[in-house]
Structure 1
Amino acid sequence: MLNNRSVLITGGTGSFGKAFTKTILERYPDVKRLVIFSRDELKQFEMSQEFDPAKHRAIRYFIGDIRDQDRIRRALEGIDVVIHAAALKQVPVAEYNPFECIKTNVLGAQNLIEACLDAGVKDVVALSTDKAAAPINLYGATKLCSDKLFTAANNIRGGRDLKLSVVRYGNVMGSRGSVIPFFMDKRNTGVLPITDPEMTRFNISLQEGVDMVLWALENAKGGEIFVPKIPSYRITDVAQAIGPDCEHPVVGIRPGEKIHEEMITESDSFNTVDLGCYYAILPSAGAHSVESYCKATGGQAVQPGFAYNSGTNTDFLTPVQLKTLMKQHLGLEV
């Protein structure tokens, strides 16, 4: 699928970008170019130590910011596939610096879309978040706007051979700033602060996120928001798995946090198709009706009023399962 093609990853030095790079180099050894587009020169240097340029000759490192449209246009020359992972994503930071988040997550997304339209790019997959469904914080609202920009861009592609889609998934296990590394750091203090004992989150491994993006590249028709079927966890069970002997004081939720996360709202149900391992939320003003999309994919429309919520999910991870996953995916002994 990606052999003899040129791929660019925005935010390519992040956790996802590095995992995606590793997977591409393993599965598609004949990839033509793999461009890491990001704004941090130190992270690019560190990544180049991890992926030896002498061994991996397809990799290129391109300093730039998605806020800078001219730089994006330069980076996209000769690119066939774009994976958009660049974002400001820390909820408290976005609450305190809202327009900085807007400039990267919304205006940067539009910069990238316009450059892709002009550069002859064939496939675009943008990464989203469960916080974009019925958002209550600034970060989630910017990602909802970004999702809408990418899906609606299919309406203006004209005769171009271009498909743009979005993948939306929950918390990546062990990602920077998430609860597992936070609890691991705090474990030796004997105190693991709990925001709210009722809090739940969806859970996905980094590799599952990478595999989902590759699946979207191969199967997207254009305009979908793909959602995986994944388990949830209770924050109290994560604390129990990591520090069963620690104190677990309740400290209250942070600004902009939800008790439970949604990935598909009841309002989305009228445009949602069950594809088996994934759901696809179709744009209300897109080229595909639910009926035609089901016919083309073999999917099935969900029932009106269906919602996909981490608190009402039918699949929950136990503390024992969480320990197993942390060892399997993160190498953590808990």
Structure 2
Amino acid sequence: MYKDKVILITGGTGSLGKALTKHILTSHSNVRKLIIYSRDEQKQFQMAQEYPHNQYPQVRFLIGDVRDRERMVRAFKGVDYVIHAAAMKHVPIAEYNPDECIKTNIGGAENVIHASLQTEVKRVVALSTDKACAPINLYGATKLTSDKLFIAANNIKGDNPIRFSVVRYGNVMGSNGSVIPFFIEKKKEGVLPITDVKMTRFNISLQGGVDMVMHALESAWGGELFVPKIPSYKILDVAEAIGPECDKPVVGIRPGEKVHEEMITASDSFYTYDLGKYYAIIPATHKWSLDEFIREFKAVKVPEGFQYNSGENSEWESVDSLRKLIKEHVDHNFEV
């Protein structure tokens, strides 16, 4: 599927973009070209040191903003597969700069769709977030809108064989701005601020996120929103795993934050199927046979009223398992 193909990653210098790059070059080194598209020249410069052209001739770096439609059309020419990972994702910053968040997360999604339809792109996978499910903050609302745009794009493509799909997951362990690197840094001060003692979050490794993107790229029929089956953790357990000796003052929930994150609501249950490793929320209108989809993936309809949130999960990380995961995925030198 990947031999001699051209893949473009928007936001390719971010945590997931870098993990995808490493995975693709390791597991699918026969790609013709891998384009890292982002607007941060310093991050591109640093990443280019990791992938020098004489060793990785298939890697290209393109400066560009997903807000720039003309630039995106030019960048997408000759591209087979697009992974859309660019986003403005920090909740408090989005709340304070709403116009900027909307331009990047919604306008950027529209531009990705437009550029894909104008060129020869065959498949697009857009990254979502648990905050897009029943959103209470602007970031989540913009990502929900983005999800809807990508799913609906399958209905406006005409006879173009392109497929658009979405992947949604929770906190990526060790990603930029996430709680575990934050706590590791705060441990030096002896204080780990706790927002709410009841707070829980989903947990997925960078590799888990990569695997899910590749699954969608390879398996999506068009319009599915994929959700992984992953464990939850309690914020107090994360704090205990990282700094058992630290003070843990309760500082209160930040604006736009939930106590428990959701990935599938009861309202979604009418369109949700269990695929084994993942759930798929299928679009209300689709151009393919649902019966064939069920047969192909051995899909099982979830019960009416089913919901999937981090507070009522059946699988949990413990303090010990978190320590092992932190050492494996975040900081190899981590010790308590």
TM normalised by structure 2 equals 0.98
Aligned to 1:247: 247
Helix, strand or coil for the counterpart of 1:268?
helix
- Alignment of 1:174 onto 2:177: no
Aligned to 2:74: 74
What is the CA distance between 1:162 and its match in structure 2?
0.6
Aligned to 1:13: 13
Helix, strand or coil for the counterpart of 1:227?
strand
Q: Return the alpha-carbon distance in structure 1 between the equivalents of residues 246 and 291 of structure 2.
A: 53
**Letter of the structure 2 residue corresponding to residue 294 of structure 1:** I
Superposed CA RMSD in Å reads: 1.0
- Alignment of 1:324 onto 2:324: yes
Aligned to 1:84: 84
* Structure 2, unpaired ranges of 5+: none
Aligned to 1:94: 94
Aligned to 1:228: 228
- How many corresponding residue pairs? 334
Equivalent positions of 1:290-301 (< 5 A) are 291-301=291-301
Helix, strand or coil for the counterpart of 1:180?
helix
Per-residue CA shift, 1:121-153, capped at 9, x if unaligned? 001000000000000000000000000000110
Q: Return the alpha-carbon distance in structure 1 between the equivalents of residues 102 and 161 of structure 2.
A: 29
Aligned to 2:198: 198
Aligned to 2:257: 257
What is the CA distance between 1:284 and its match in structure 2?
1.6
Q: Return the alpha-carbon distance in structure 1 between the equivalents of residues 286 and 97 of structure 2.
A: 33
What is the CA distance between 1:289 and its match in structure 2?
6.6
Whether the 8 Å CA contact 1:282–1:288 is kept in 2: the answer is: no
Per-residue CA shift, 1:221-244, capped at 9, x if unaligned? 100000000000000000000010
**Letter of the structure 2 residue corresponding to residue 25 of structure 1:** L
Aligned to 1:144: 144
TM normalised by structure 1 equals 0.98
Whether the 8 Å CA contact 1:200–1:311 is kept in 2: the answer is: yes
Q: Return the alpha-carbon distance in structure 2 between the equivalents of residues 132 and 170 of structure 1.
A: 10
Helix, strand or coil for the counterpart of 2:177?
coil
* Structure 1, unpaired ranges of 5+: none
Whether the 8 Å CA contact 1:172–1:204 is kept in 2: the answer is: yes
What is the CA distance between 1:288 and its match in structure 2?
4.6
Aligned to 2:281: 281
**Letter of the structure 2 residue corresponding to residue 236 of structure 1:** L
Aligned to 1:62: 62
Q: Return the alpha-carbon distance in structure 2 between the equivalents of residues 99 and 273 of structure 1.
A: 35
Instruction: Choose which of 310, 319, 335 in structure 2 pairs with 1:333.
Output: 335
Q: Return the alpha-carbon distance in structure 1 between the equivalents of residues 93 and 2 of structure 2.
A: 36
Helix, strand or coil for the counterpart of 1:54?
coil
Q: Return the alpha-carbon distance in structure 2 between the equivalents of residues 321 and 267 of structure 1.
A: 33
